[in-house]
C-alpha cells in the first residue's frame, strides 16, 4: 500500500482547470521531485493534497484512508504538512515562537525544537529574532522547521529555492540532507532540474495540469525531463499524426 495516493484528482480555480486527472502513488521514504513550468499546476496539486484547495474530482488517500473531505488542519494532525510557496511565517513572532505554535498538538515523533536547531544550525543563534528580520534562507529554514514540528508522515515542499541566493539555496539543501538520507517521505517542487534529479528518488513532471512523466530519477535523463517539461515529445507526436497539439 502506498503511503500517499492521488487518484484522478482535478482542481479548478473558477473556470480554469489547473490540475487534470492527476494520478500517482508515493511509498514511504520516497523523495519525489514535482517539476514543470510556471502554471503547470504543481502548487495547486500540493495544496489539494494538503487540504488547502478542494479538488473538483478525484480522491486523496493517506495510508489507505480517504482524506479528500478532511480539512487542512486535521490533515496536519494526520501527518500531511505543507511548506507553502512564499513561506508565510508569522513575521512579528520569533523563530522559536513560530516553531512552538506549530508544535502544539502535533503528532508524536522525533522532531522537536532542539532537533530542528540540530538540522538547521543557522537558526540556533537566531532563535529569538523576529521571523520578518531573517534572511531569505533563514526564513525558508524556519518554514521547513515549522512543518517538521508537526512530525509529518508526508512533507510537501513548495518552491524551496524560490527567491533565494545560490548560497542560501545550498545552505538550505545541506540542512535538508538530514531528512533526505533518513526515512522521510517528501514531495518537492523544484525549478532547478539538475538539483531535482540529484536529490530525488523519483521525478514527476506536469504540463498544463496533467502528469506527463513519472519515473525513477536515477534512470531519467535531463533530456527526457526537458522534453516532458516543454511538451516536446507531445508536439512531435501531434505533428507525426497530423493532429493539433
Per-residue model confidence as pLDDT tens digits over 102-145: 777 667 888 899 999 998 998 999 999 999 999 988 999 999 99
Q: Among 4-13, 37-46, 103-112, 195-204, name the one with the lowest average pLDDT.
A: 103-112
- 4-241: CATH topology is Rossmann fold (3.40.50)
Mean pLDDT across the chain, nearest whole number? 88
Is-contact 33 196, C-beta < 8 A?
yes
DSSP string, the chain: --SEEEEEEEEEETTEEEEEEEEEEE-TT-EEEEE--TTSSHHHHHHHHHTSS--SEEEEEETTEE-TTS-HHHHHHHTEEEE-TT----TTSBHHHHHHHHHTTPPSSS--HHHHHHH-GGGGGGTTSBGGGS-HHHHHHHHHHHHHTT--SEEEEE-TTTT--HHHHHHHHHHHHHHHTTT-EEEEE-S-HHHHHHH-SEEEEEETTEEEEEEEGGG--HHHHHHHHHTHHHHHHHHHHT---
In sequence order, which residues have a C-beta less than 8 Å from that of residue 177 and are 6 or more positions away?
A: none
Model pTM?
Answer: 0.88
Per-residue model confidence as pLDDT tens digits over 165-217: 888 888 888 888 877 777 789 999 988 888 888 889 999 999 999 999 999 98
pLDDT at 48 over 70: yes
Instruction: Give residue 245's pLDDT.
Output: 38
How large is the average pLDDT for residues 37-52? 95
Instruction: Give residue 244's pLDDT.
Output: 42
Instruction: Give residue 234's pLDDT.
Output: 53
Burial of 170 (C-beta count, 10 Å sphere; 0-12/13-18/19+): middle
Domain ranges for the chain: 4-241
The percentage of the chain sitting over the pLDDT mark of 90, rounded to a whole number, equals: 59
User: Nearest Cα to 105, choosing from 82, 78, 68?
Assistant: 78
Instruction: Give residue 233's pLDDT.
Output: 56
pLDDT at 62 over 90: yes
Per-residue model confidence as pLDDT tens digits over 82-99: 998 877 898 899 999 999
Instruction: Give residue 167's pLDDT.
Output: 84
Amino acid at each position: 500500500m502506498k503511503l500517499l495516493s492521488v487518484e484522478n484528482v482535478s482542481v479548478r480555480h473558477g473556470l480554469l482547470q489547473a490540475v487534470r486527472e492527476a494520478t500517482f502513488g508515493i511509498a514511504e521514504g520516497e523523495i519525489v521531485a514535482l517539476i514543470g513550468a510556471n502554471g503547470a499546476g504543481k502548487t495547486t496539486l500540493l495544496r489539494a493534497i494538503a487540504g488547502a484547495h478542494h479538488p473538483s474530482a478525484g480522491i486523496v488517500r493517506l495510508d489507505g484512508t480517504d482524506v479528500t473531505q478532511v480539512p487542512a488542519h486535521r490533515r496536519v494532525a494526520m501527518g500531511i504538512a505543507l511548506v507553502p510557496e512564499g513561506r508565510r511565517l508569522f513575521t512579528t513572532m520569533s523563530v522559536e515562537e513560530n516553531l512552538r505554535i506549530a508544535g502544539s498538538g502535533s503528532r508524536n515523533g522525533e522532531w522537536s525544537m532542539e532537533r530542528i536547531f540540530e538540522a538547521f544550525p543557522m537558526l540556533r543563534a537566531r532563535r529569538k529574532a523576529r521571523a520578518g528580520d531573517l534572511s531569505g534562507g533563514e526564513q525558508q529554514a524556519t518554514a521547513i522547521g515549522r512543518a517538521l514540528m508537526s512530525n509529518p508522515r508526508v512533507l510537501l515542499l513548495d518552491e524551496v529555492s524560490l527567491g533565494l541566493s545560490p548560497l542560501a539555496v545550498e545552505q538550505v539543501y545541506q540542512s535538508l540532507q538530514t531528512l533526505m538520507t533518513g526515512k522521510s517521505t517528501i514531495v518537492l517542487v523544484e525549478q532547478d532540474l539538475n538539483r531535482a534529479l540529484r536529490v530525488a528518488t523519483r521525478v514527476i513532471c506536469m504540463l498544463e495540469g496533467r502528469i506527463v512523466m513519472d519515473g525513477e530519477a536515477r534512470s531519467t535523463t535531463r533530456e527526457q525531463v526537458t522534453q516532458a517539461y516543454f511538451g516536446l515529445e507531445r508536439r512531435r507526436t501531434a505533428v507525426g499524426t497530423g493532429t493539433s497539439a
